[in-house]
Structures are given as C-alpha cells and as structure tokens.
Amino acid sequence: MQLRRRVFAISALLGRDWPGSSPAFESMTPQSTTDIDDLDIAIAHKHAPQWGGAEHVATELARTFDAPVYTGLVGPDVTLPSDVDWHTLVTGRLADWWSTKSTLAEATRDFAYQVIWDHVPELGNYDVVIVSGNSPSWNVPPDTQTTIKYVHSTPRTAYDRYVDKGESLFVKCYAKATRVLTQPTLAFPDRYVCNSDLVARRCVKYWDRGSANLEVVYPPTDVTQYGPEHAVGGSDYYLTYSRLVDAKHVDEIIAAFAGLDERLVVGGDGPQRTALERQAAEHDNIEIIGYMDEAAKRRRLAEAEAVIMNAANEDFGLVPVEAFASGTPVLGVAEGFTPHLIKDGKNGYVYQRSIDALRAAVRTHASTGVTWQPETIQRYTQQFSRSRFQSEMRRIVREAHAATRISGPDSVPREPVSDEAATTLPDGGQDA
C-alpha cells in the first residue's frame, strides 16, 4: 500500500494516464477559495523618522487589511495614528539620532537595518507580508509566505541621483555597497507594486524586474475631502506647501515671485524656514504662514489661483493630487513624476527648472488660465482615490496569494496501477 501511494503521487506529478479510466483521475483537492479577510497580513514599513507620503501609504495599507505595522523606528516628533497597531524595532536615543538628517546617522542606520530587519521572527507568522520601503526586504521570508513589495523608490543615491551625488569617495563606496548588498533581496518579493510609472521604470532599469510581476498602484488620497466649497476668501494668490527642506527648492519659488506682482503664500515648516523667511522679508507679495492643519490646507487649496510644485525629481507627489482634488491647477517643474501628472494647458503648466521659466509659467497662467473647468480637474483625481487604492491592493494580494499557494498532487487513480507502473520510478530505476 505504501508503494502504491508513492507511485500514485509520482504519476500525478508526471501527468500519467491510467489504463481503463476516463477521466483518469478524481480530484481530491478543492480549488482555493481563501478569502483575503481570512489571511493573517502584516505591513513591514522601513521607518517613520518624519511623517510623509510613505508613512501615509503604510497606514492605508494597514487599514485596508486590518493589519499591524512593523517599522524600524518612529521619530520623536511623529504622532502615530491611533487606529493602527504599530510595532517598533528600534527605540530610545538611537532611534532619535537615526531620525535626524545627519549623513553619518543615515548611513549607519541604513546598514544597521541589514541586521535589524534580517530576522524579525514575528513576521514569519503571517500568511502575507506587504513590504513598504526597501529596508524590510532584508528579512528572509518563509517559503510558505506571500511577500508583496510596495516600492516608493529604488535607493536614490545608489541609482537615479548617483550622477549628481557620486563625486565623493564616501558616496561612491556607499552607493556601490548598497547596489551589491541589495541584489540578493530582489528575489524575495512574489509581486512588486510601484507608486508611479517612473518608479516602475526604475525597478525595470536598475533591478531588472520584469513587467509580469510588477504593476503600478498610485498612493491613496482621500480626494472627497477637497473641493472649491472649502474656500472662504478670494483666490488672489498662488500657493506652495511642503516640508521646508533643500530638496523642495522653495527658495527658487520665492526668488521667482520676487520679480512678479502676483502674491505667493508658502505653507509648511522645516529646517529651511528661517532662511526662507529672511529671503521673503523684503517682498510684500510673499507670505510664509508655516504649518497648515488639514482644515487650513483644504481652504488654501480651494482659494489658490494655482499651486506651485518645484520639488526635485519627485517619485510621485501628493501635493498635485490634493490640488487637483480641490479643482485647482498646478504649475510643476519638469522633473520626476510631476510633469506626468500635469496635462499642459489643461490642468496646469510644466516648466523647466529655472527662475525665469517659473516666472513665465505664472504669467502664462495668470493671463490665459487653463482649459479644464474645476469639476473636470476634480474628476481627473478619481484614479488616485483611496477607494481605488484599497480595491487594487486587495486584488493584488488575492492574486499573489493564489499564485504562490503550495499544492501537492490533487488526484487519485480510479483503476489499480499495472505492475510495470507500480515498480518503475521516474528515473527509470526499480523500487527495492
């Protein structure tokens, strides 16, 4: 009997037909009908030194699947959403230091994550792990686990920004080590999901990820909370808002408006605020208002003539989507994914990076406007909605889990096997 069971299994794997029966097999294993709500799912998010777009995505993933979030660290100034269960791997003074913008802190943190994320035993208990960011990919998943990687970007210093930053020996060594050490982890995810078509292109170019296991799902925005109805005052100013850091190039926007009559309102806070306030102090048409809460942001977006997006090589960019959801055009620099969000002349204008080009874009908008009405601009944002994000991610998890399901032989013969079949093994040898 033991021999016969072995041969039945071997024959099922080989697809061998059994004599005297049609169909040859009777199914013993039902088709997979697992509901993703019955799966244990976790989110592994790189870290949250500040609160930004990646943290917003990780939170929405957790809400979509009612899943906990495991994260490398949480910055001292970050307030986590209370409706999500967060598990932090590094705490205390080390976490505080690693949350700073120090080059040394970032470099040591990124390499330490190879050890910290390499073995997180709790993650092995889940049916599905969705990786948000790159560092959690150091964790080696069990072979029975479905792993989906949501890519916010490939490591930028090692790849797309290397041509601008790769002059120093330190950066050269850091970038080279990152490329070499990242390579073995690229095979771990069963499915890649990218936050934009630009990032998908980077995954193909730098990581050699084929299109079969890669697709784009835009980050979620609750577009329903924005709209022209939130306006209180008149729309006589242009708006820009972001974290006030070098990469956002707010100084260039201020310099451009210093030569214009139009008003500029700058929202947001960050290490560059003091310098920007000094720069704007001599110009009556420029106002820096600092941090905006959600209500203030909705009002400002609804009132603004247009929003200025001047950040360097954005992977996606939530600011244009929030502006469009308010029915407000965007003037955006021709870098990163920003120009792909803007339909030139319809919902905004694209300009090359220079102060003169930005001024020209403002003048063009002020004189001719855009062709789309606010309602049309709003409809454009439905592809970035929270409901679409949740629907797409649930579909991807369902498909990925079904594709990675491990199954053995699923049938048995109706008729006894012949003596020859019962004693012949797949390699042609005889069973002892």
Question: Could you tell me if residue 141 is inside a domain?
Answer: yes
Distance CA 432, CA 425 (A): 10
The reply to whether 78 and 165 lie within a common domain is: yes
The reply to whether 169 and 313 lie within a common domain is: no
Distance CA 17, CA 380 (A): 56
pLDDT in tens, 117-131: 998 999 999 999 999
Examine the pLDDT at 142 and tell me if it is beyond 90. yes
The reply to whether 349 and 242 lie within a common domain is: yes
Per-residue pLDDT at 240 = 98
pLDDT in tens, 218-235: 999 999 999 999 988 777
Per-residue pLDDT at 22 = 38
pLDDT grade for 178, boundaries at 50, 70 and 90:
confident
The reply to whether 330 and 315 lie within a common domain is: yes
Tokens of 291: 């941090």
pLDDT grade for 170, boundaries at 50, 70 and 90:
confident
Examine the pLDDT at 283 and tell me if it is beyond 60. yes
What Rg do the C-alpha atoms of the chain give, in angstroms? 27
Residues 340, 198: contact at Cβ < 8 Å? yes
Question: Could you tell me if residue 334 is inside a domain?
Answer: yes
The reply to whether 172 and 297 lie within a common domain is: no
pLDDT grade for 182, boundaries at 50, 70 and 90:
confident
Distance, CA of 205 to chain centre: 17
Question: Could you tell me if residue 372 is inside a domain?
Answer: yes
In our burial notation (b when 16+ CB lie closer than 10 A, e otherwise), range 294-315 reads eeebbbbbbbbbbbbbbbebbb
What share of the chain in percent tops pLDDT 90?
66
Q: How many CB atoms lie within 10 A of CB 138?
A: 21
The reply to whether 291 and 313 lie within a common domain is: yes
Per-residue pLDDT at 16 = 36
The reply to whether 291 and 347 lie within a common domain is: yes
- Which residues lie across from 351 on neighbouring strands? 333
Per-residue pLDDT at 189 = 94
pTM over 0.85: no
Question: Could you tell me if residue 108 is inside a domain?
Answer: yes
Tokens of 207: 């990581």
Q: Count up the domains in the chain and report the number.
A: 2
The reply to whether 208 and 90 lie within a common domain is: yes
Distance CA 57, CA 45 (A): 10
The domain that holds 340 is classified in CATH as 3.40.50.2000
Kindly tell me the burial class for residue 377, based on how many C-beta atoms sit within 10 Å of its own C-beta (0-12, 13-18, 19 or more). buried
Per-residue pLDDT at 409 = 77
By residue count, the chain amounts to 432
pLDDT grade for 156, boundaries at 50, 70 and 90:
confident
Per-residue pLDDT at 28 = 36
pLDDT grade for 158, boundaries at 50, 70 and 90:
confident
Question: Could you tell me if residue 186 is inside a domain?
Answer: yes
Comparing C-alpha atoms, which of 189, 183, 188, 191 is closest to residue 207?
A: 183
**Torsion angle of C-alpha atoms 226, 229, 235, 241, degrees rounded to 10:** -20
The reply to whether 137 and 259 lie within a common domain is: no
Examine the pLDDT at 13 and tell me if it is beyond 50. no
pLDDT in tens, 188-203: 999 999 999 999 999 9
pLDDT in tens, 63-100: 999 999 999 999 998 999 999 999 999 999 999 999 98
Distance CA 345, CA 324 (A): 14
Examine the pLDDT at 19 and tell me if it is beyond 70. no
Per-residue pLDDT at 181 = 86
Among the ranges given (48-57, 177-186, 405-414), the one the predictor scored with the smallest mean pLDDT: 405-414
The reply to whether 200 and 274 lie within a common domain is: no
pLDDT grade for 12, boundaries at 50, 70 and 90:
very low
- Which residues lie across from 88 on neighbouring strands? 71
Per-residue pLDDT at 149 = 97
Distance CA 428, CA 334 (A): 65
Per-residue pLDDT at 8 = 34
Per-residue pLDDT at 421 = 55
Q: Pairing state of beta strands 411-413 and 146-151?
A: unpaired
Distance CA 332, CA 351 (A): 6
pLDDT in tens, 235-261: 789 999 998 989 899 999 999 999 999
The reply to whether 348 and 399 lie within a common domain is: no
Determine phi and psi for 289, rounding to 5 degrees: -105, -5
Distance CA 130, CA 45 (A): 8
Determine phi and psi for 338, rounding to 5 degrees: -55, -50
pLDDT: is 334 or 20 the higher one?
Answer: 334
**Torsion angle of C-alpha atoms 247, 250, 255, 256, degrees rounded to 10:** 100
The 3 state secondary structure assigned to the chain is CHHHHHHHHHHHHHCCCCCCCCCCEEECCCCCCCCHHHCCEEEEECCECCCCHHHHHHHHHHHHHCCCEEECCECCCCCCCCCCCEEECCCHHHHHHHCCCCHHHHHHHHHHHHHHCCCCHHHHHCCEEEEECCHHHHCCCCCCCEEEEEECCCCCCCCCCHHHHCCCHHHHHHHHHHHHHHHHHHHCCCEEEECCHHHHHHHHHHHCCCHHHEEECCCCECHHHCCHHHCCCCCCEEEEECCCCHHHCHHHHHHHHCCCCCEEEEECCCCCHHHHHHHHCCCCCEEEEECCCHHHHHHHHHHCCCEEECCCCCCCCHHHHHHHHCCCCEEEECCCCHHHHCCECCCEEEECCCHHHHHHHHHHHHHHCCCCCHHHHHHHHHHHEHHHHHHHHHHHHHHHHHHCCCCCCCEEECCCCCHHHHHECCCCCECC
Question: Could you tell me if residue 27 is inside a domain?
Answer: no
Question: Could you tell me if residue 261 is inside a domain?
Answer: yes
Domain containing 231 equals: 223-384
Question: Could you tell me if residue 6 is inside a domain?
Answer: no
| Mean pLDDT of all residues belonging to the chain | 86
The reply to whether 174 and 311 lie within a common domain is: no
pLDDT in tens, 371-419: 999 999 999 999 999 999 999 999 999 999 999 887 777 666 666 656 6
Who contacts 348 (Cβ-Cβ below 8 Å, separation ≥6)? 306, 320, 329, 330, 331, 332, 342, 365, 370
pLDDT in tens, 393-403: 999 999 999 99
Asked if the bond preceding 23 is cis, omega within 30° of 0, the reply is yes
Please name the amino acid found at residue 292.
Answer: M
Examine the pLDDT at 212 and tell me if it is beyond 70. yes
Q: What is the largest CA-CA distance in the chain?
A: 98
